[in-house]
Structure 1
């Protein structure tokens, strides 16, 4: 149940927002909501009242409410969760992932104490695309296992992950229940190293809807090739991460010769 709006919005925004004359309506509402969040009237992780309810109580349009909420989402004070609503962001809700270790999403979130789950978007054996043939080094008649998932942490959509593997490495995609790397470790095909390429992108409509953000919002596109100890490619993965909820962190070392020069 949403909190009583009279507890989080000033009087001039309840029933007669247009009379306050303190700038555009969405700015007034944005400032009021931000003040309520910073004052603790809306606690970390608490649900924001539905946009319809706010619009009716403040006698403004839902478009105005949406614009105000959008700005607070951009500022990181609110987060949208698909199918659940809009919530006050938790300070620790952004995730940091090290670029120096090859771990699965499940393992990475478990170390942080996050509850994880996946929504399957695709899972099965298919004849390879030209790109999969090149990346995985497989012939056109060798089927590949495709695993497409929406990855969630604490009920927040974090990433869309699409992995391709040779059927010789993963003959039964349905065997993957939670962690792909856990299954590969069980069968002796867990990768030991990987090469990743990370680039900034603007999320397309379909991907944005899955991640619970707006079309055109910033995202991180990651292409990864993982290798077995033998040097053969084990996995080709393309992922999209929410730009507002994920940070990648790399530890850099300075060669000894450069240290001496400095």
Structure 2
């Protein structure tokens, strides 16, 4: 496992090591979520000093490729890929990948609609909506901050929703049949950063989703912030004729 680093190169050893470790991560030699050997052991295996190793690991951690857990060690980041061709919920996405999803409720109740929500649902400015705000986790790691709003007629009791909103909608015959999503990269504001365990200003994916029932009514208006270092959205594009 020892690496052939060039000490006479103009490129510092820690950068050479960073590039070599990046290749190993890309090759799948270390699996998603796998713990790396302790620093002392890994440095010996690679034939480098602990200082050189630590600088390389810190750079890979800054890119979101590795995670350091105090008192536990260094782990390969768990990245999640979601296709943009299927209308699914977070819990369903994680279950399909064999990952354990969980939620932490931040707010759940009936509130006066914001101007954005009233416009999305075609409601009067004084109307109320059911609002659900959750921190979504994968294997206990914060992955996304999700704020969903629904007309009260579709969700009269927000407390009735369990881990999966879509499971509740299925149970009540309200499964959406199509959705429109808008994605853009934004800098994490302090509250978002704190909840997602990242630094303020770090890039996150901001996603707005409008989901529709078969009759064309808007069922759900969801705004989410996904960690850019943990989540990839994948779309298949086909050539035109």
**Under a length normalisation based on structure 1, what TM-score does the superposition of the two structures give?**
0.71
| CA distance in structure 1 between the partners assigned to 2:144 and 2:68 by the alignment | 14
Residues 166 and 214 (structure 1), Cα distance of their counterparts in 2 relative to 1, 3 Å cut: same
Tell me whether 1:160 sits opposite 2:145 in the alignment: yes
Pairwise CA distance, 1:72: 2.3
Q: Is the CA contact (8 Å cut-off) linking 1:142 and 1:167 kept in structure 2?
A: no
Residues 141 and 205 (structure 1), Cα distance of their counterparts in 2 relative to 1, 3 Å cut: closer
Q: After TM superposition, where is structure 1 displaced by more than 4 Å over at least 4 residues in a row?
A: 27-32, 67-70, 83-86
How many residues matched? Answer: 222
Q: Is the CA contact (8 Å cut-off) linking 1:30 and 1:71 kept in structure 2?
A: no
Q: Which residue of 2 aligns with 1:211?
A: 196
* Correspondent of 2:121 among 127, 131, 136: 136
- List runs of 5+ in structure 1 lacking aligned partners: 1-26, 50-59
Q: Which residue of 2 aligns with 1:87?
A: 74
Q: Which moved more, 1:70-79 or 1:109-118?
A: 70-79
Tell me whether 1:253 sits opposite 2:238 in the alignment: yes
| CA distance in structure 1 between the partners assigned to 2:73 and 2:219 by the alignment | 39
Superposition pairs for residues 189-200 of structure 1, below 5 Å?
Answer: 189-200=174-185
Residues 144 and 236 (structure 1), Cα distance of their counterparts in 2 relative to 1, 3 Å cut: same
Q: What is the DSSP-based 3-state SS (H/G/I as helix, E as strand, rest coil) of the residue aligned with 2:98?
A: coil
- List runs of 5+ in structure 2 lacking aligned partners: 1-12, 39-50
Q: Which residue of 1 aligns with 2:6?
A: none
Q: Is the CA contact (8 Å cut-off) linking 1:78 and 1:86 kept in structure 2?
A: no
| CA distance in structure 1 between the partners assigned to 2:188 and 2:197 by the alignment | 11
Q: Which moved more, 1:232-241 or 1:140-149?
A: 140-149
Deviations along 1:199-234, one digit per CA (max 9) or x if unpaired, are 011112221121122221111100110001110000
Pairwise CA distance, 1:119: 0.7
* Correspondent of 2:169 among 184, 204, 207: 184
Over aligned residues, Cα RMSD in angstroms? 3.8
Tell me which structure has the larger Cα radius of gyration.
Answer: 1
| CA distance in structure 2 between the partners assigned to 1:125 and 1:114 by the alignment | 31
